[in-house]
Structure 1
Amino acid sequence: MVKFCDRGRSCRKPLTIKYFYAIFKIMPRLARLDAPGVLHHVMGRGIEQNEIFLNNEDRKDFIKRLEILALDNAIDVYAWTLLPNHFHLLIKTKERPLSSTMRKLLTGYVVNYNKRHMRHGHLFQNRYKSIVCQEDVYLNELVRYIHLNLLRAKIVKSLNKLNLSPWSGHSALMGKVKRNWQNTDYVLSLFGNKRNRRKNYLAYVEKGIKKGHRPELVGGGLIRSMGGWSEVIALRERGDKNVYDQRILGESDFVEKIVSDLDEMAKRNLKRLGKRIDLEKLAEKICNKFDISMNELCSGSRRKIVIKARQIVSWLAVRELGYTGADVAYFLGVTNSCVTRIVSGTKPDLKKFMKLLR
């Protein structure tokens, strides 16, 4: 039998049934939250607020990848905008889970970006942020909010300039830039008949200029739980009548329905945690303990001390803080199977590291 380790090289230990069982035990199944037909407001930022689009070639590459996913029936795209250090998407999942779609979009973009600019390493700050949205209540608002970002950031100087800008979906809705992959018909249908809908849409966008930044549309105005789904469920169990979470934008009944749709296995795998330390901060603390750099931790180095530090980060993040193996693998720059092997193996001595979780 051919034996492979997580990096594809031959190794002594084969993949066992116990190993595959550990994957399902540790990694929660996808909840119905990520089922087809769910509307998501997705945001991604550059690491340390660095720019992720340095020139028009970068922007065109990102847009082309978004186009391919839309034409491949993975998503419906309703709104989007590209700013120097972050992006916004308003998309509805179709034949693929959101996680799969975003992985294909971002991984491919980062690979090309690094080649173009002769760099290596992470580009985005942790994982993208995704908010499930109540379509009938918030779709119009979100389309307007997302497209006005270019104007609020003063990247374009006027609404007329925004109408022509190729770096958001607004120009396609105005008929100034042709994008067959963007679902403009559905969005415009919300603004009346074919004769007046573009005019009505533009008037609606113009009214939004005075509203300024809208924190309630990105979760900032809601009761938020940094523990993710676990705290939402905890709120329900305590009988809280208004259940909100940073991953959901909608009325209380909508949030209640989304949460109740989580299957039982997903619920059992959730950690009942309050505010938890950010992965990057945890990794920095571990690096300080082992006297290594963050770059070395995430470089795939096989030095014993780096492997040990990676093991501690993985165990604390997955077992104690409730991060998924995919989150940790993405952050560390290793494969999912690598993290799964670590946290399903012998437990390291964590006593002296537990205080780092505070």
Structure 2
Amino acid sequence: MEQGQSYHIYKHANLPVRQASGSEDIFREEENYRFFLQQYSKYLGNVVDTYAFCLMPNHFHFLVGVKSEEALKKTFPKFETLGKLISKQFSNFFSSYAQTFNKKYKRKGSLFINNFRRKPIQTTSQWQEIFLYFHLNPIKHEFATSVNDWKWSGWHAYKYLEKKSLLERTYFMNFFDGIFHINDMMEVKREILLNKNLEIE
């Protein structure tokens, strides 16, 4: 992962043994979502700027940008390479959450599939679509009928800009002309995005 580059990051729950299809949930109750975001902020808040996210019962999405080398060196003065630092922090984050989850629910084995996916975002339209797709994801998977109904996404942070958030909420102005532009584009691209599957593309 490179400085100044935006990435779509996503990861799924592991496929349970003896289950032919589908996957196990990573979030079983509200406290799981809260703890996940708490650990995300702890391990990755000083590594990446987070622009958007969506947590679903068996997978999640983050739209992030890697912080500058100067900022990283202030927090991690001894880090060797950017790649190793980011990989280590993500690994620590996933491990911390999975260990706590396994202990709480008395389960064993890997909670997540082995590797998290990270795709660089190269164009303005791609950034816009990823951002919109995240917030439409609960509708796509039939957990909500409106973006306002799903609690575990960054949509509410943009709707209520005066409230504190883990999101960096100024960078989106490089891609949208404001919240009204986001709403307009979401309506225009709604059906197209609901028919996309950016978890496998």
Count of aligned pairs between the two proteins: 178
Q: Flag structure 1 segments of 5+ consecutive residues without an equivalent.
A: 1-33, 221-358
Indicate yes or no: 2:169 matched with 1:214. no
SS of the residue aligned with 1:50?
coil
AA partner of residue 190 (structure 2): I
Indicate yes or no: 2:58 matched with 1:77. no
> Which contiguous aligned blocks of 4+ residues in structure 1 show a shift greater than 4 angstroms?
none
For each residue in 1:251-306, what CA deviation from the matched residue of structure 2 results, as whole angstroms up to 9, or x when unmatched? xxxxxxxxxxxxxxxxxxxxxxxxxxxxxxxxxxxxxxxxxxxxxxxxxxxxxxxx
SS of the residue aligned with 1:90?
strand
More strand by share: 2
Relative to the length of structure 2, the TM-score reads 0.79
For each residue in 1:156-184, what CA deviation from the matched residue of structure 2 results, as whole angstroms up to 9, or x when unmatched? 122442xxx33011111111793432012
Give the alignment's Cα RMSD to 1 decimal: 2.1
Indicate yes or no: 2:11 matched with 1:47. no
Do 1:70 and 1:77's aligned partners in 2 also have CA atoms closer than 8 Å?
Answer: no
The aligned counterpart of 1:166 is: 151
Alpha-carbon distance between aligned partners in 2 of 1:82 and 1:204, rounded to the nearest angstrom: 22
> Residues 1-358 of structure 1 correspond to what in structure 2 (within 5 A)?
34-48=1-15, 49-71=23-45, 73-94=46-67, 95=72, 96-97=82-83, 98-161=86-149, 165-175=150-160, 178-192=163-177, 197-211=178-192, 212-215=194-197, 217-218=198-199, 220=201
Alpha-carbon distance between aligned partners in 2 of 1:177 and 1:44, rounded to the nearest angstrom: 30
SS of the residue aligned with 1:59?
helix
Do 1:81 and 1:146's aligned partners in 2 also have CA atoms closer than 8 Å?
Answer: yes
Relative to the length of structure 1, the TM-score reads 0.46
SS of the residue aligned with 2:170?
helix
The aligned counterpart of 1:241 is: none
SS of the residue aligned with 1:47?
coil
The aligned counterpart of 2:79 is: none
Alpha-carbon distance between aligned partners in 2 of 1:179 and 1:111, rounded to the nearest angstrom: 28
SS of the residue aligned with 1:141?
helix
Do 1:79 and 1:146's aligned partners in 2 also have CA atoms closer than 8 Å?
Answer: yes
Do 1:70 and 1:182's aligned partners in 2 also have CA atoms closer than 8 Å?
Answer: no
The aligned counterpart of 1:271 is: none
Do 1:70 and 1:181's aligned partners in 2 also have CA atoms closer than 8 Å?
Answer: no
1:207 Cα deviation (Å)?
Answer: 2.3
AA partner of residue 207 (structure 1): V
For each residue in 1:55-76, what CA deviation from the matched residue of structure 2 results, as whole angstroms up to 9, or x when unmatched? 11111011112223454x2101
AA partner of residue 185 (structure 1): T
Q: 1:184 to 1:59 in 2, by over 3 A?
A: same
Alpha-carbon distance between aligned partners in 1 of 2:136 and 2:59, rounded to the nearest angstrom: 14
AA partner of residue 38 (structure 1): Q
AA partner of residue 44 (structure 1): K
More helix by share: 1
AA partner of residue 187 (structure 2): E
1:149 Cα deviation (Å)?
Answer: 0.4
Do 2:40 and 2:93's aligned partners in 1 also have CA atoms closer than 8 Å?
Answer: yes
Alpha-carbon distance between aligned partners in 2 of 1:100 and 1:170, rounded to the nearest angstrom: 29
AA partner of residue 66 (structure 1): Y
Q: Flag structure 2 segments of 5+ consecutive residues without an equivalent.
A: 16-22, 73-81
* Higher CA-based Rg: 1
User: Looking at both structures, which has the greater relative contact order when contacts are Cα pairs under 8 Å and sequence separation is at least 6?
Assistant: 2
Do 2:6 and 2:63's aligned partners in 1 also have CA atoms closer than 8 Å?
Answer: yes
Percent of aligned positions that are identical: 25
Q: 1:190 to 1:136 in 2, by over 3 A?
A: closer
